[in-house]
Each structure stands twice: as structure tokens, then as C-alpha cells.
Structure 1
Amino acid sequence: MSSGVVANSVRRPPVNLLDTYVRGWHESAESIVALAAELDAADWARQTDCTEWTVKDVLAHLAHLESELCRSEQSTYDSTGGSDVVSAYTALGVEARRDRTPAELVEEFAAAVDLRAARLADLPDDPAAPAPVTPGGVAWSWDTLLRNRSVDVWVHEQDIRRATGRPGGLDSTGAHVAVMTFSFAMPFVLGKKVRPPATSTVRWNVTGETPLELVVRIGEDGRASAIETLDEPSATLTMSTETFTVLTAGRRAPDQVDVAVEGDEELARATLGAMAIMS
């Protein structure tokens, strides 16, 4: 099962956003606790867009990670010293909670969030400093840890909302962090995964609660970078905030969502198929 961690191809924002990341994480966590109070047995058993995970499994995953991050010292899980949270690690956390009731999982998650929120009231001055405790012992800075937690918890909030038919939260702080983070990965998507000819351009026109307009161009050297808006890009992809985040989070395939395509159809379809950046 995917860990919900944003791929390392995402470049870092140019400013210290730790406070924003913590606010996004905390808002989404509180929304999940509030949502949980509305769910019945059928809701907890519903399949989510996370392969093989039910709503209850998603909450078990969140309870696992937040509890691990409450440790005073790093857990001993062997992550091979890398920077990606491996699926085996997250699967262990869910499996260990298989016999717990939803109420017990909510209690564990809420308690861990409260403790972490108190600890994160005093943030480090250096976002690039190594975080002392990370999921599975991965080598993350404070910036990477807190950004990923904001994105991960918000994305899982959306998993629960879609599975149970309770939309919302698409204009929250977590939504803005997720859209920003995913947008920074689109040059990687176009330049490294799609690899169209030089001077090709793709515009993402994201509408709705958390809008985005982004144009990425392939330079003569083959490198992709964001540029000012063009009147006539090679391809334009128009979609809602929810569709943009569903595709970039790897939750659904392009043929399962609504996207309006203009211009180079082949380039547009290749780009849509490469947008997933969460591992």
C-alpha cells in the first residue's frame, strides 16, 4: 500500500512555511476526528481510493504515523537509510491495528495529534535541519516532514470524504499546501516522465476552491520549468481542484475524472497519465 508520501522530485518552497504546514496538518486532523463522529459501521468498511484500504484502514494508518511521531526517540524500523517511507512500514502499522475498533483508532489518533500539536507550538528556526523523529526513520528535514504530514493528512481526509460521500475541505489550508506542493512537481512530470520535444508547453488550469494556473515549458536543453502564462500553449488541461489533487495524489486514473483538453491531444493524454507523484 502506498505510504502517501510526496515524491522527492518536488522542489522546496523558497520561504519558511513550517507554520503553514502545521496549520494545514492540524486543521485536516481535526476535520478527520469530526468526520469520524458521523460514520457508521457501513462507512468504516467502505473501500477508499487507496488500494486495499478501507476507511478504517486509512484511520489506522494515520493513527500509526502520528503515534510514531510522538516518540521521544526514533523507532528502530530499518528503512535502509533512504528518504522514502516504504509501503512495508505503513502496512505494518495498519495490520497491527486490525483488531481495534474505530472508536479506539479515533482515540489514538486524536491523542497523538493533541500531543504533537503542543510540541509543534515551538518550531525550529532552521527548516533544513534534520527532524529527530520521522516515519520509519527516513532522512527528512523539518521542512520535508511537516510538508509531507500536511499533504498526507489532507489527502487522507479527502479519501475518507470521497468514500463516505461527505465532500468538503477543498479550500482549507491543507488544500492550499497540497496544491502548491503538487504544482512544484509538474516540471518534473513534464520534463522527466513525459519528455516531449523542446519548446513544448503545457498549461494546467485548475478551477474551483483552490485555483491554480501553471504553464511548464521544455527548454532547448530538455529541461522543464514554469514560465509566465502563454496565449497558445501546446496543450491546456482544465480541471477542478479535486481532480488535480486526485490525479497528482495517484488516487484515480485520467479516464476516471473529468478533464477538458485543448491543443495537442497526445501530449495532453501523456501528461495526464504521468501526473501521479505520490509514492
Structure 2
Amino acid sequence: MDLTPRDLGARIMSAARARRAPGFSIESGETVADGPQVYEELTDVVAAVLHGLPNEGWAQPARPYRWSVHDLLGHLLAVERYTATRLGVPGMGGIPEPGDDHHLTFADAVIAFERTRAPTNTLADWWEVVGRVRDIARPGLLPDRPVALHGLRLHPPALLVLRGFELWIHAEDISRAVHAPPTIPSAGAVRAMAELSIGKLVPLALPAVRVAPARDVRVVLTGAGGGTWNLALGDGQASALLVLDVVEYCRYAAGRHDRADLDVHIEGDAALVEDVLAASRLLAV
């Protein structure tokens, strides 16, 4: 049965309110949202953006991709199913395993199939999978070992932060496509995404972009959800300082800003700072 946008929107927002955990706050960078909170918040953001989409909005190009907004939702549906299988959700079935090529291509068959369906049905299926991931994202239900996603092995809470990061960026892609204002996540979610990116993934990715020995870098991300990270990359001696806005950093790391777009303050070893910034983009969605 085809769902009308009004019916589907009511179902999604009612379920979102019922599922949402009590709110959390962040002051002076002291509180960080955990993985399930980040995932819940940012799936709600995607749902809210799509719920208000006019019919003509589904066909708009979802740059920087070759897809329409509906195609992008088909991609999200495929990745959500894949994420669910990684976390042990049963009954997903028929999910292709991403190969050595970019993760954007593994969902082509799903996207092609969803083009034959009403966008609201694609949205309903995506929301159903989201609900199953949320249901398992509770203490004692998630796997207690690292799991693979996009070539990374992450503990499930970190994986949910990564997935939430991707979902927020795609919500902004959709908002741009339909000329809607962007949504800034809560400070707790921003801090969790920044911690995953600059605190954990950048040190892993840096050797891929830097041949010369590195020294330590102090990174200060300003604004709600920001913080300070001392990246121990070398001999324990700080040789550089990088300061920029935390939300702009996250957008840059996701490949949505060019380097020239960033308003950054750099002291010390500028080449090392540029390598840190380049490393942040190696996992761009």
C-alpha cells in the first residue's frame, strides 16, 4: 500500500518522539553524546528533512552525487541495512558486501529498485530499519567486539557515531537540494563526531598522507561541541597548533568544504597541520 506523505510523516515523527531518550546537555565540552544518542538524534534529523519534502523535491539533484534525493535515500536504505547486519540485527537479507571499491557503489542495485517505487515507500522502509537498529542499540544487546563498516573496525558505539555523522551530512545534502536551511546537531552529538574524527580516525589515517616524521599537534575546535585535542603523533613535543570552528571542521572532514573555505588559525609547522587536515578527509562520505 502506498503511503501518503501526511500518513508517513505522522508515523515517523510519532515514533521518533516515542523512541527519543531524555535530552542531554553539554557545557564547556564536559558531556559527549554516546553512539546510540548520536544515531537516534541524527536519524530523526533525516526523517524531519524528508517528511517535509514536496513531491518535486524527490527529483532534485543531491550534490555532490550523481543521484536524485530519492536515489540518495535508496543509498541510505542500503547502508542502513548493511549497518544493521554489522550490529547483529537479524532478517535484513540480500545485503551486498561492499568490495574494494568505494562504498557509494555497492548500493546501485538497491537504488535502481527503489526508483520503481514511491519515495514515501522507500522512506518507510528506511525508517523501519532505523527502528530496528535503535532497538538493538542498548546496553547488553550490541556486540561486545569491534565490527567492520566502510573498511574500518570499530566498537559498536563508535560505529553508531560514524553512521550518525554520515546521516547528518546527507541531511544537509538534501536540505541544500531543496533550498532548506541546514540543521546543526546538538553540542553533544557534534562533540562525539569531532572526537571520533580528530581524536581517533585522523591519527590512523595520517601515515597515508605524510611521509616525513610527525610531531605532536594541538587541535582546538571552537563553538558548541568543540574541544581541545593533543594529537600524540611523534616525539611528544608539540610543533603545531590548529584552531577552527568545530562544525566547519566536520563539514570539511566529510568532503563538503574545500580547504580554501576554512577559516583556520595555524601556528608552527604549517605543513604538518595541512597533512592533519588532509588525513581528516580520507574517510569522507
TM-score by length of 1: 0.69
Shift of 1:34: 1.3
2:202 alignment partner AA: M
1:269 partnered with 2:274 = yes
Could you say which residue in structure 2 is the equivalent of 1:28?
A: 42
1:211 partnered with 2:226 = yes
Could you say which residue in structure 1 is the equivalent of 2:163?
A: 149
Aligned in 2, Cα 1:85/1:149: closer, same or farther, shift over 3 Å?
farther
1:170 partnered with 2:185 = yes
Given candidates 67, 87, 91, the residue that maps to 1:53 is 67
Rounded Cα–Cα distance in structure 2 between residues aligned with 1:65 and 1:80: 10
2:257 alignment partner AA: R
1:107 partnered with 2:112 = no
Rounded Cα–Cα distance in structure 2 between residues aligned with 1:46 and 1:80: 27
Aligned in 2, Cα 1:37/1:262: closer, same or farther, shift over 3 Å?
same
1:37 partnered with 2:74 = no
Shift of 1:62: 1.7
Identity over the aligned pairs, expressed in percent?
Answer: 21
Aligned in 2, Cα 1:180/1:195: closer, same or farther, shift over 3 Å?
same
> Paired residues, what number?
246
Rounded Cα–Cα distance in structure 2 between residues aligned with 1:149 and 1:258: 27
- Which stretch shifts more, 200-209 or 164-173? 164-173
Given candidates 243, 249, 254, the residue that maps to 2:248 is 243
Question: Where in structure 1 are there 5+ consecutive unaligned residues?
Answer: 1-18, 221-226
Could you say which residue in structure 1 is the equivalent of 2:20?
A: none
Aligned in 2, Cα 1:172/1:157: closer, same or farther, shift over 3 Å?
farther
Rounded Cα–Cα distance in structure 1 between residues aligned with 2:128 and 2:92: 19
Judge conservation of contact 1:203–1:235 (CA < 8 Å) in 2: yes
Could you say which residue in structure 1 is the equivalent of 2:13?
A: none
Could you say which residue in structure 2 is the equivalent of 1:88?
A: 105
Shift of 1:273: 2.7
SS at match of 1:88: coil
Question: Where in structure 2 are there 5+ consecutive unaligned residues?
Answer: 1-32
TM-score by length of 2: 0.68
> What RMSD over aligned residues (CA atoms) do the two structures have, in Å?
3.7
Answer 1 or 2: higher relative contact order, Cα 8 Å, separation at least 6: 1
Could you say which residue in structure 1 is the equivalent of 2:80?
A: 66
SS at match of 2:192: helix
Aligned in 2, Cα 1:196/1:55: closer, same or farther, shift over 3 Å?
farther
Aligned in 2, Cα 1:58/1:77: closer, same or farther, shift over 3 Å?
closer
Could you say which residue in structure 2 is the equivalent of 1:258?
A: 263
Aligned in 2, Cα 1:102/1:245: closer, same or farther, shift over 3 Å?
same
SS at match of 2:107: helix
